[in-house]
């Protein structure tokens, strides 16, 4: 589907009506990783967040596949591993302030009031530039450290990956959002300086 020419869908790929607001789909993702919900019940609870009608258990696989199709912007998730990192690059609880401030500063969209379809939100979210707080988080969490990188760049990326990782092991690993943003901005300027000269 092409966001520029297609109408935004209101159903999954099987024609079942879904809630289209980005808020429901964020709750879908949050439910999937909620440790307070029994693992066996998480997916069913997540599906009930986004489907308008009650889930028919006899067609559970279709509900699951339809929801992940919608979550993935109208595409079936790629079953083949791309070889890249499978670690999450966003956490909608931990990163909520970074996401809110990035949308407000870059797009002038107040997410507490916005009425965005999940496909719209997704397109805007994943194209935030690295200079925004959420863009920096996604960039560093998703950046692969390779042997062919210059040593200064490899060290900077490794440092930033430690600062912004989602699963911190202890309180000693914690860094304030203000410190992270400052470090990201400093590294961005260093990176630009080293590539220009």
pLDDT (tens digit per residue) in 14-28: 999 999 999 999 999
Nearest by Cα to 156 from 178, 185, 127, 132: 185
pLDDT for res 196: 52
pLDDT tens-digit map of 47-81: 999 999 999 999 999 999 999 999 999 999 875 44
pTM of the model: 0.78
**Beta carbons of 17 and 52 less than 8 angstroms apart:** yes
- In the chain, how long is the greatest CA-to-CA distance? 62
């Amino acid at each position: 589907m092409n966001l520029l020419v297609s109408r935004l869908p209101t159903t999954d790929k099987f024609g079942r009506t879904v809630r289209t607001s980005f808020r429901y789909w964020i709750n879908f993702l949050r439910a999937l990783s909620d440790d307070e919900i029994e693992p066996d019940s998480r997916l069913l609870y997540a599906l009930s967040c986004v489907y308008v009608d009650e889930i028919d258990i006899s067609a559970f696989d279709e509900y699951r596949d339809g929801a992940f199709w919608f979550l993935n912007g109208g595409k079936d998730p790629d079953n083949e591993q791309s070889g890249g990192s499978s670690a999450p690059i966003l956490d909608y609880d931990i990163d909520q302030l970074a996401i809110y401030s990035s949308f407000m500063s870059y797009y002038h969209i107040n997410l507490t009031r916005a009425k965005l379809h999940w496909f719209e939100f997704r397109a805007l979210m994943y194209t935030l530039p690295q200079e925004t707080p959420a863009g920096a988080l996604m960039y560093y969490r998703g950046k692969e450290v390779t042997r062919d990188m210059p040593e200064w760049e490899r060290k900077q990326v490794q440092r930033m990956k430690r600062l912004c990782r989602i699963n911190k092991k202890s309180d000693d690993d914690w860094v304030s959002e203000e410190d992270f943003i400052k470090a990201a901005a400093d590294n961005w300027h260093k990176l630009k300086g080293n590539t220009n000269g």
